Amino acid sequence: MNRRSAVRHAGIAAVLATGLAPAVHAQAAVRWRLVSSFPPSLDTIYGGAGVFSKAVKALSGGRFEVQVHGAGELVPAFGVLDAVQGGTVEMAHTAPYYFYGRNQAFALGSAIPFGFNARQMNAWMLHGNGRRLMDDFYAGYNLVSFAAGNTGTQMGGWYLKEIRGVSDLKGMRMRLGGGLVGEVMARLGAVPVDMPGGEIYQALQQRSIDAAEWVGPYDDQKLGFHKVAPFYYYPGWWEGGLELDFFVHRKAYDALPAEYKAIVNAASSLAHADMLAKYDALNPHALKQLVMAKTRVLPFPTPVLEAAFRAAMDVFAHNDSRSPEWRKIYADMRNFQRDQIFWFRFAEARFDSFMSTQRV
């Protein structure tokens, strides 16, 4: 076990043992600012930063505080990387794939088309090479990273028209999270549009876009997409398990005493686990409500998924030639994923498939 893993596991043990009781009494007070890429109205995805902040304060006995700022309060949603890299603020809560345009390797720290599910991502990050490889990459941006939540497998988005085949995607203007899936969709004939979550509803309502994806039923219902788009597709093949990250300015983290570093590790682990559990708890009821509101919930046709898979593999091969960082991390990710798929097909997949046909 490396030093960082040891600190992380020690921090988690402290959380479990103390129930978030104060753990630090003698250290100097520290005040950090955290900027989020998400609006406060989304209590799930934005709320992960709040869980982290409360845990840091509780574990430090109030000596270490992190003030959370929603998208647009201090910096724009997609400006959080620059803010942390430049030392304007100490932390950000974001989806690394938002910065795919800087370097394709950013996407590997969150989600790629036909990539990991949430559990597989955790396995790679914690007990594979994932976190080490990503932090080696992030070091070039003055960052250190911590897991900050996972949405689980997402839905495939909201559409103004039914998708019967690949031809229905041609010319379709679609809001997509991250430039990578946009490149894949472009190969299928769609026109990718990049915009923050808070702008999607109005764009759909005004028909400046023809489709949009965000996360899943709970968030999507809160944003009101079902009021302006009748077709809701699944699965979100580009986000089998989107990991959010805390980006921390390297010098700010290095300046922390060992006890506060352990608290950052423990609080991030708590926030990370809480987000996935919250989505899993809230999505079923929201999906039922969407169906009752006459939303048409439909699976992507198999030919669409197959075409998307081929397009994704083409983009990945192109990325190998564009970014040496991508090539190195992607090769390790895929090697790890092959074993994960092998294992999951024997237990998880068969169990879930059977249970989905039973009445409990």
* Mean pLDDT computed over every residue of the chain: 93
> What's the rounded mean pLDDT across residues 188-209?
93
- Cα dihedral across residues 210, 216, 219, 222: positive or negative: positive
Q: What are the chain's domains?
A: 3-153+240-280 (3.40.190.170), 157-238+288-324 (3.40.190.10)
Q: Tell me the one-letter amino acid at 180.
A: L
Cβ atoms 104, 98 nearer than 8 A = no
Percent of the chain with pLDDT over 90: 90
- Residue 18 confidence class, pLDDT cut points 50, 70, 90: very low
pLDDT tens-digit readout, 64-96: 999 999 999 999 999 999 999 999 999 999 999
Q: What pLDDT does residue 325 have?
A: 98
What are the φ/ψ torsions at residue 97 (nearest 5 degrees)?
-70, -10
- Per residue in 108-152, pLDDT (tens digit) is 999 999 999 999 999 999 999 999 999 999 999 999 999 999 999
Query: H helices within the chain, ranges in order?
Result: 3-18, 47-59, 80-85, 118-127, 130-138, 179-187, 200-205, 217-223, 250-254, 258-292, 302-322, 324-346, 348-355
| pTM recorded for the entire structure | 0.90
What pLDDT, on a 0 to 100 scale, did the predictor assign at position 333?
A: 98
